[in-house]
Amino acid sequence: MSRPPRARQPIKDAALELFVHRGVHATGIREIAKQAGCSEAALYRHWTNKEDLVSSLFREHIGEVVSRLDGALASADTFESRIRAATKAAYALYDEQPLVFRFVLLVRHEQAEFLAHDHPRMPQDALTEAIAGQVGDDTRAKVLAAAAMGMFLQVAEFVVYGRLEGPLERYADQVSDLVLKLAQP
């Protein structure tokens, strides 16, 4: 029998907090269950193991980012306004949910290896599509999307790790300006 989604939320919240503060590999199922106020068996009713929980959390939050990006891109009518809206939407999401952002930063490379097998839609896909519509060349669009993602993530990491003062949203225009300069012919 499947449990209602709200029964899973305390476990997901506990896992995020522990993964961010202690590290994914240093956090065990027992600690997650204790932090969530449930038994280990309750956790296993929802996920087969810790790796399944990590993957599930990553997919959920990457899906949320893609959804926000797609919505922001669809809501604007020019290339410039799409880039600005997408940057602001993504940074706002991370400002609202800093633990989620730090978790995604921690596990993105490890999870990318596992996700390669089923190819879910990722943030860089949304960005590549938006840029391809502007530059027309698929290879150039992918390179520009990679560069844009690098700028976006490095600024975000600087905020997360205290090299720049937050919130992230305050840097959205500067990052957007740089992406737009890169996309010029």
The pLDDT tens digits for 1-44 are: 444 555 789 999 999 999 999 999 999 999 999 999 999 999 99
CATH class of 1-47: mainly alpha
pLDDT of residue 109: 78
Residues 65-70 have a mean pLDDT of 90
Fold held by 58-183: Tetracycline Repressor; domain 2 (1.10.357)
The confidence score (pLDDT) of residue 164 equals 96
* pLDDT at residue 116, as a whole number: 59
Domain boundaries for CATH 1.10.357 within the chain? 58-183
Residue 149 and residue 130 in contact, taking contact as beta carbons nearer than 8 Å = no
| Domain limits, CATH 1.10.10.60, in the chain | 1-47
Specify the pTM.
0.82
Omega prior to 98 cis, within 30 of 0: no
Question: In Å, what is the CA distance from 69 to each residue of 74, 87, 107, 164?
Answer: 8, 8, 20, 24
> Is 184 a residue whose pLDDT tops 90?
no
Q: Which residue has the tokens 């065990």?
A: 28
Task: List, for residues 118-160, the tens digit of each pLDDT value.
Answer: 667 888 889 999 999 888 888 999 999 999 999 999 999 899 8
pLDDT in tens, 76-122: 999 999 999 999 998 998 899 999 888 888 788 788 776 656 667 88
Start-to-end CA distance of the chain, whole Å, equals 56
